[in-house]
Structure 1
Amino acid sequence: MDKALSSTLRLQGQACLALGSPFHARLLELAAEDLDAGGPTAGLLAPWNGQDLRGLMAAAVPLRLLGGLHDLVLSGDDPALARAYPQPGKAFDAESAWPEARRAMAGRADRLSAFMEHEPQTNEVRRSACLLGGFLTLAKETGLPLRCFEIAASAGLNLSWDRYRYDLSGLPWGPESPVLLPSDWSGALPPLDAPVRVVHRQACDRRPVDLRDPVQRRRLLAYVWPDQFDRLERIRAAIGVALMQDVAVEAADGVDWTAQSVRPEPGAATVIYHSVFWQYMPAESQAALHQAIEYIGASATLDAPLAWLRMEPPPENMAIMEVRLTMWPGGEERVLAVVHAHGASANWLG
């Protein structure tokens, strides 16, 4: 029995409950009990035996397990498991689903293990609702069109942030769109009247998701929690927009790509942005990216400003999520908002 592994499952279960997925919360508790008893969960998680709690959370081991099971459901290859999983309009609970999940972990261990070798890649599109205030602030304060560069963009769904419709506690922003992003907004409002025009968009990811590939597309869906039907509906709509717009994400390391691809240009505000990515980087990569952005910022001018917009937990408190904006020339940093990790709410401070 590996106590760190079972503790990781339980901690992630608590996080799932706090973020609105009681199904996954209980499923992870049952998986932890099965791990402690030496059941099939122990075999699936054996590659991570001996790692400490911090390393296990950084590797997102519980999310790999949950994603593998959900991918099996979405594929249709295990009808019994699919019937036990959440579906709109049908009663469901983890206690009833667990026997089928445990059977699948024992009988389809090779398939699940192969899925779990790849680190989780999520692309929560409602994080755009948190980043929106930063883009609006930048547009308002500079009066310039925007050049957008997203690091760790996954499938690039948040590269289309200006193509979505937003509802900030009843206040709309954005064009008519198949993607509607509601967010409970408190505090003041960002400058919703700011004129926004995106003149360039570019993105990278170490292992980008090719949405044209149905297997990769399903993998992206698998990391959306199955009892959160609204999130599944939104990501499917956002995938449709990305495919229609032929959104492309370059395969590249974030540090190297930023240093090579991003330069301020006169007549536009250049913005580097990312969300829920920083915490998974090694400390040396964080330092290198920070240095690269500051180097680029040193060449910014009033006519060619640079901004660094990010939605990440502050290092001193990983339990919360903030939106921060740094602008050059000058390098002034501001905390704009404290937000929900999936974009469901924002307390605007900016």
Structure 2
Amino acid sequence: MSLAEEFEWFADWCVGTSPLYEKLARGVADDPYLLSLAEEIPPKRGTPNILFAAVHWHLLGGVSHPLADFYPSVTDDPKTADPFPAFREFCAEHEDELLPLLRNRRTQTNAVRRCTALFPAFSHISNEVGGEPLALVELGPSGGLNLCWDRYVYDYGDAGRYGTGECVLDTKIRSERSPPLPDEFPRVASRIGIDLNPLDVRDETDARWLRALVWPEHEDRHRLLRGATNVARQHPPELRQGDAVEELPDVLAGIPSDVPVCVFDTQMRYQLPETAQDRLRVRIEAAAEGRPLHWLSGHESADEWEGAFALNWFDGEEYRRLLAYEQHGKWLRWVR
């Protein structure tokens, strides 16, 4: 699709969840100047997300402009009038400051609530390996917040509450079969993330970029991000820079061969070309021939739970559907 069509598509996606971005996206789609500015963003990085996050980043940093009055993440009493004239004016006035972000940043959200699905998935795999500590390797971890999964509190309603701390993740279970939720978290031997551009939440610039990627109206996601960022600053995960597919063999080689490994990713694979996805599968399967290895991988579901996110499980021998959950972990349906 053309760039204008991409912004129209994005606007349709925002209906009902972000009135601000819906209005802005439709305005950009009809504006030659803003479309030319958006062309500065490298392909396949989620152009609308990057453009809006770059503007949001500057507003979160305290840049004074009438546009800030439309952002719930910046003001307590946001305007509901048409924000597009102020948005266009902001971009024209701050083009030089926007360009470095447009050219160099990526869409790297950390949907922390997805940990409500990862927790029972890790518990399931822990049971499969007899409770041995797991070496966790996340592909595309961004700021590594999901690697801190066992430092959060989980509220599953009637199914129970687990963990201690200030960052509380809640979800609803939509299945007759209860997920495996042990009294204690599965043990972790090590945790490593591999990312082309890992973000360090201890760095204010990177932390603000994570905030900027969260849509302005999504206060609950902003709240969870603040809590998870505080956790990661106290317990920073090990993040390595590099191509996740290419670096994975070296990372696995550094883990003792008798330690069971769980490789996992949530929203990383869809960004890979098919050739890279094929290489990743080949490397996972090859590694599983010489050691206990499991792989959890998320992707969009195409079954009756369309619009959900499915978490697939490779147990070292075959691929099995493990569970499905709605984007951002708002509910969980356990199917294994």
With normalisation by structure 2, the TM-score equals 0.90
Match of 1:46 among 39, 43, 51: 39
Q: Which amino acid aligns with 2:335?
A: L
Deviation at 1:265, TM superposition (A): 4.6
Match of 2:198 in 1: 208
Deviation at 1:109, TM superposition (A): 1.6
How many residue pairs end up in the alignment? 330
Pairing 1:197-346 to 2, within 5 Å after superposition: 197-262=187-252, 265=256, 268-300=259-291, 305-313=292-300, 319-328=307-316, 331-346=317-332
Matched, 1:347 2:333: yes
Q: Secondary structure at the residue paired with 2:320?
A: strand
Q: Does the CA-based 8 Å contact 2:10-2:22 persist in structure 1?
A: yes
Distance 1:338 1:246, change over 3 A: closer
Match of 1:191 in 2: 180
In structure 2, how many angstroms separate the alpha carbons of the residues matched to 1:23 and 1:143? 50
Distance 1:255 1:120, change over 3 A: same
Match of 1:52 in 2: none
Match of 1:120 in 2: 107
Match of 1:63 among 44, 49, 72: 49
Deviation at 1:120, TM superposition (A): 1.7
Q: Secondary structure at the residue paired with 2:15?
A: helix
Q: Which amino acid aligns with 2:179?
A: P
Q: Which amino acid aligns with 2:111?
A: E
In structure 2, how many angstroms separate the alpha carbons of the residues matched to 1:91 and 1:170? 36
Pairing 1:83-232 to 2, within 5 Å after superposition: 83-87=69-73, 90-92=76-78, 95-117=81-103, 118-144=105-131, 145-187=133-175, 188-193=177-182, 195=184, 196-232=186-222
| Structure 2: runs of 5+ lacking an equivalent | none
Deviation at 1:147, TM superposition (A): 1.3
Deviation at 1:295, TM superposition (A): 0.4
Q: Secondary structure at the residue paired with 2:224?
A: helix
Q: Does the CA-based 8 Å contact 2:191-2:238 persist in structure 1?
A: no
Deviation at 1:247, TM superposition (A): 2.1
| Structure 1: runs of 5+ lacking an equivalent | 49-54
Match of 2:25 in 1: 28
Match of 1:51 in 2: none
Q: Secondary structure at the residue paired with 1:342?
A: helix
Q: Secondary structure at the residue paired with 1:200?
A: strand
In structure 1, how many angstroms separate the alpha carbons of the residues matched to 2:80 and 2:279? 43
Distance 1:318 1:278, change over 3 A: farther
In structure 2, how many angstroms separate the alpha carbons of the residues matched to 1:345 and 1:13? 25
Q: Which amino acid aligns with 2:125?
A: L
Q: Does the CA-based 8 Å contact 2:112-2:145 persist in structure 1?
A: yes
Distance 1:116 1:289, change over 3 A: same
Deviations 1:115-136 (A, max 9, x none): 1112222112112122222111
In structure 2, how many angstroms separate the alpha carbons of the residues matched to 1:313 and 1:167? 24
Distance 1:14 1:347, change over 3 A: farther
Q: Identify the range of structure 1 (336-345 vs 273-282) with the bigger mean alpha-carbon deviation.
A: 336-345
In structure 1, how many angstroms separate the alpha carbons of the residues matched to 2:266 and 2:86? 34
Q: Does the CA-based 8 Å contact 1:311-1:324 persist in structure 2?
A: yes
Q: Does the CA-based 8 Å contact 1:150-1:204 persist in structure 2?
A: yes
Q: Does the CA-based 8 Å contact 1:307-1:327 persist in structure 2?
A: yes
Distance 1:192 1:81, change over 3 A: same
Q: Does the CA-based 8 Å contact 1:84-1:100 persist in structure 2?
A: no
Q: Which amino acid aligns with 1:219?
A: W
Q: Secondary structure at the residue paired with 1:272?
A: strand
Q: Does the CA-based 8 Å contact 2:20-2:83 persist in structure 1?
A: no
In structure 1, how many angstroms separate the alpha carbons of the residues matched to 2:295 and 2:183? 19
